[in-house]
Structure 1
Amino acid sequence: MIYLKMWSLAVVWISSLLVSAQAQGTASLWKGNDRSGRCQYSFTVDSPKEASCPSASTGPEMEALKARLGLLEVLVARLAGGEAPGTVAGAGLQEAHSQAMRDKAQLQREKTQLQREKDRLAQQVEDLQKRVAELQKEAERLRSRPCPQAPPPSVPQHDSGLRPGAGPSLSHLASRPGRTQGDTSSLRDSSWHYGGPAYQELKAEVAEVPAPSPENPEDNTGCGELLSVGEPVSHRKADSIAGKYGVWMQDPEPEAPYGPGMLWRVDTVGSEVRQLFGYEDMQQLSRGFPTKVLLLPEAMESTGAAMYRGSLYYQRRRSRTLIRYDLASESVAARRDLPHAGFHGQFPYSWGGYTDIDFAVDEEGLWVIYSTNKAKGAIVLSQLDPHSLEVLRSWETNIRKTTVANAFMICGRLYTVASYTSPNTTVNYSFDTSTSQSKAMTVPFKNRYRYNSMVDYNLVQRKLFAWDNYHIVSYDVRLGKQQ
């Protein structure tokens, strides 16, 4: 309070000085006698509004003094809690706050609008995915439709995969009502029951297949040599980088509680691959809706897993250990080291991915494809006991594992794919375990998405299952005797 009083006195004193200075510059004193002879004094001060000439004493010093006085008045007003300066500052702050609130409201409106747009686009994507799935189903249905034109008598009409009397065909992943355990005829691809030569020619088949006959027992069993691979059909694209490569499977001899139409998928990108997704049928797989998710007790290595007789067979990460995981009990049922097998990048396929050990299933049982130091990188093929994982018998081939993109088994024969990136490559090599003979081949094979990391034979569907650069795809195959 004393400090405030001292400032007030200073302002009053400076104001007095200023008034005195101004008075000295504008006032005049006059002395004279009046009519009665008395001395009379007159004091005159100019009006500030009517003065015609500024005083000579009002120079830069006076203006500076006025400026200082103004600053002192402002300081005194602030110290005394004056209204004027605070009002101006408060008004500025209020305007800034109002502007900030208006900007915030505008941003909120824009965010809401963007969210609506995002939801609309997401709905459009979902509708397009549904439409693509419907078109794929329609394409499958059209493929399975019999050709209306009767073939000439001289042209063979069926391949060796035909099973006489199998009855009407259904969708390639739907089972026939009342199907008994072990009956896989209802799951055969219908295109091979009724495929006419016109349809086969449209698919650019490279060889003709003789009609089945009683004299040819190999034809009656449905087995034969690979003659052609059809066009790839995409069923689903992975949603994230984890699905760039992986493996999908179907058990040819399923056990309870899972049915014959059950499909399984594993995304194999990552250091801890342990999730196994199960789908009731192809439609659920295409839509991405798993009905079962299992967590494997030990991490999986690469894309070489297989499904057989109610168990998942896979290689444990960073080891040559083979694991049989029982689906019913959700536990490890057997484990065994594969003798001398290379692992974790020692003898992979040409695309890499630590594909040293590759399981395969065909009409003759469970196999494993690998290599050893003794074989110097050449493919070694072993048949396994599906219960104990014991090696029953082995063959050493004459093709290096690192020079081929992938391999699969059909009817006891090993086949290899030449390239995983070339859009038009070939199945270039076969090895027959019944004769221990190998030979070169040139069966056309397409990598539509140019990064095929898994190829396995599915004997239930008479198809190849593959994983091509985020895409789950399948190929029809045709078997028979070479002419």
Structure 2
Amino acid sequence: MSQSNIFILLILIPLTFTQSVRRKDCVCDLKNSDPAFPEKKLKNVETTALQCIGTITSEKMTDLDRLVLGLQHRIKQLEGNVIVLEKEDDRNLYGAVSLRIIELEIAEIQDLLDKLNRTTQNYQHLSVQTAAQLEDMKDAMVDLEKFDNMQVIKTNRENQRFKRNLEQCKEELSATAAPPTVPPARCGLGRAVSVAGPRTYSLTVYGTSYTFGAWGRDAKPAPGDKNKYWLVVLSSGNVYGHFVRQYSTLSTLLLGIGPTDTYISSSNPTTNTIQGPNMVMYGNALYYNCYNTYSVCRFNMTTRSVSTVALPNDAGYNSKFPFAHLGATYTYTDMDFATDELGVYVIYATTSNFGNVIISKVETSNPPVFNQTWSTSLHKKTVTNTFMVCGVLYATRYLDKETEEIFYSYDTKTKEERFDLKINIKKMQTNIQFLNYDPRDHLLYVYSDAYILTYELIFQ
């Protein structure tokens, strides 16, 4: 319960005045016909409301979601291992080992069930306690409302209802045309119409110390790596990184179990290490902005070798053309990398294009090279993030602490630009440092103020 729901009560005290003349003195007798206002009861309601705010937090509510999601993925993984065991024909050579692995997985699932049961019981107790507190506060407010002789509360409710109706009318009148249609022949998708979610919302194992980073899946994974997830946090001043952390499944990432670290360099920062939070994984290679240069780095996760290709020498780097909005600048975000159904792209800006966004298709060779390039009229510093879907660039901007908006698109096939998209993303944290589309599951992967999230991109 928010303190804004506790109304300010105005007391109208009827007064009775009696005047008598005694030696040229005027004497007035004040008589209050209403009972005294129960100030103590109002203080109790305020105290209880503060306790509710402190008891029920978004962090607590995500514990249950995280446990359920982890349990779902572990059960799915167990089913897959059992199917493999049933198909094995190794004359009992490895049967005992496979059974032992399954036994350990069952034990981990049981541990998750125990944690889930304990969490559920705690939440049930919390729900019962909070419901009783809310009922008491409701009764108290009904009693206090009797002192509102001037009917301020009733009038305020009517005003709020009128405001809601007015806002609804404004939205209906200002409805715009639908977002651009993505030709179905290009990748089998219709028009992007909305964003649902978040579907995943969790703090990383690093806690809230590292607010800049990136994560996701390989958009073109090697055989056997289809379920892997990668995570990079910028551990040096929220600017630089020098290793990639990988997990076998989403549930192990959320729970922080069994990570594998692959180092680009033993020190940080140095030549060819990561600069800025924008990067992608494609074909078992990480693409990112090389440290202190206007070059694209390609880090092979298997051979641990780095190859580079330079952007035009007037391309922005070291926060020359970063993502930004009126309230903040996302430092060292001059280059953004994106994946879609057609491959890998780098999004950047140059002085010759007046700081406007340029898109270059990256050929995933070794070393990488640039293929096609498209210039737009979108100024990069008015954007907070970009991503690609079926060869169409989408750009987002900051509306407020709760909402990010997809407002712009550029079709690389038709070269059509639109600035009138109004697709909102519901944020859980204030800033979004990383955003990328995964063509395998049509999800948007987000890194937001140390939290990792996924959103579902809805197509018509």
Structure 1 length-normalised TM: 0.55
Which residue pairs with 2:264 in the alignment?
A: 296
The separation in 2 between residues aligned to 1:310 and 1:177, in whole angstroms, is: 27
SS in 1 for 2:323: coil
Residue 299 (structure 2) aligned to one of 325, 337, 351: 325
Q: Deviations over 1:367-394 (max 9, x none)?
A: 0000000111110011111113211111
Q: In the superposition, relative to structure 1, how do residues 429 and 130 fare at CA in structure 2: closer, same or farther (>3 Å)? A: closer
SS in 2 for 1:315: strand
CA contact (8 A) 2:383 2:396 kept: yes
SS in 2 for 1:368: strand
Which residue pairs with 2:52 in the alignment?
A: none
Matching residue's letter, 1:339? P
Bigger mean CA offset, 222-231 vs 368-377: 222-231
Matching residue's letter, 2:434? M
Which residue pairs with 1:245 in the alignment?
A: 212
Matched, 1:283 2:251: yes
1:242 Cα deviation from its structure 2 partner = 4.3
The separation in 2 between residues aligned to 1:292 and 1:458, in whole angstroms, is: 22
Q: Deviations over 1:31-89 (max 9, x none)?
A: xxxxxxxxxxxxxxxxxxxxxxxxxxxxxxxxxxxxxxxxxxxxxxxxxxxxxxxxxxx
SS in 2 for 1:134: helix
Residue 266 (structure 1) aligned to one of 214, 232, 241: 232
Which residue pairs with 2:351 in the alignment?
A: 373
CA contact (8 A) 1:241 1:269 kept: no
Stretches of structure 2 lacking an aligned partner (at least 5 in a row): 1-59, 85-174, 266-271
Matched, 1:468 2:448: yes
Which residue pairs with 1:311 in the alignment?
A: 285
How many pairs were matched up? 290
SS in 2 for 1:302: strand
CA contact (8 A) 1:451 1:469 kept: yes
Residue 230 (structure 1) aligned to one of 196, 203, 206: 196
Matching residue's letter, 1:344? N
Matching residue's letter, 1:283? S
Stretches of structure 1 lacking an aligned partner (at least 5 in a row): 1-126, 142-169, 179-205, 210-215
Matching residue's letter, 2:199? V
1:243 Cα deviation from its structure 2 partner = 2.4
The separation in 2 between residues aligned to 1:303 and 1:364, in whole angstroms, is: 22
CA contact (8 A) 2:62 2:202 kept: no
Residue 422 (structure 1) aligned to one of 388, 401, 409: 401
SS in 2 for 1:304: strand
Which residue pairs with 2:311 in the alignment?
A: 338
Which residue pairs with 1:390 in the alignment?
A: 369
Q: Deviations over 1:315-345 (max 9, x none)?
A: 112111211111111222x211112321010
1:135 Cα deviation from its structure 2 partner = 3.5
CA contact (8 A) 1:244 1:269 kept: no
Q: Give the alignment of 1:37-436 within 5 angstroms.
A: 131-136=64-69, 218=184, 221-238=187-204, 239-255=206-222, 259-271=225-237, 272-297=240-265, 298-332=272-306, 334-340=307-313, 341-350=315-324, 351-387=329-365, 388-419=367-398, 422-436=401-415
Residue 455 (structure 1) aligned to one of 423, 435, 446: 435
The separation in 2 between residues aligned to 1:303 and 1:386, in whole angstroms, is: 20
The separation in 1 between residues aligned to 2:335 and 2:201, in whole angstroms, is: 26
Q: In the superposition, relative to structure 1, how do residues 290 and 459 fare at CA in structure 2: closer, same or farther (>3 Å)? A: farther
CA contact (8 A) 2:399 2:405 kept: no
Q: Which of structures 1 and 2 has the bigger CA Rg? A: 1
Matching residue's letter, 1:455? L
Structure 2 length-normalised TM: 0.58
SS in 2 for 1:135: helix
The separation in 1 between residues aligned to 2:276 and 2:312, in whole angstroms, is: 19
Q: Deviations over 1:98-142 (max 9, x none)?
A: xxxxxxxxxxxxxxxxxxxxxxxxxxxxx998644223468999x
Matching residue's letter, 1:228? S
1:300 Cα deviation from its structure 2 partner = 0.5
CA contact (8 A) 1:405 1:420 kept: no
Q: In the superposition, relative to structure 1, how do residues 138 and 442 fare at CA in structure 2: closer, same or farther (>3 Å)? A: farther
CA contact (8 A) 2:73 2:251 kept: no
CA contact (8 A) 1:242 1:267 kept: no
SS in 1 for 2:398: coil
CA contact (8 A) 2:186 2:390 kept: no
Q: In the superposition, relative to structure 1, how do residues 436 and 176 fare at CA in structure 2: closer, same or farther (>3 Å)? A: farther
Q: In the superposition, relative to structure 1, how do residues 356 and 471 fare at CA in structure 2: closer, same or farther (>3 Å)? A: same
Taking only the aligned residue pairs, the percentage that are identical comes to: 23
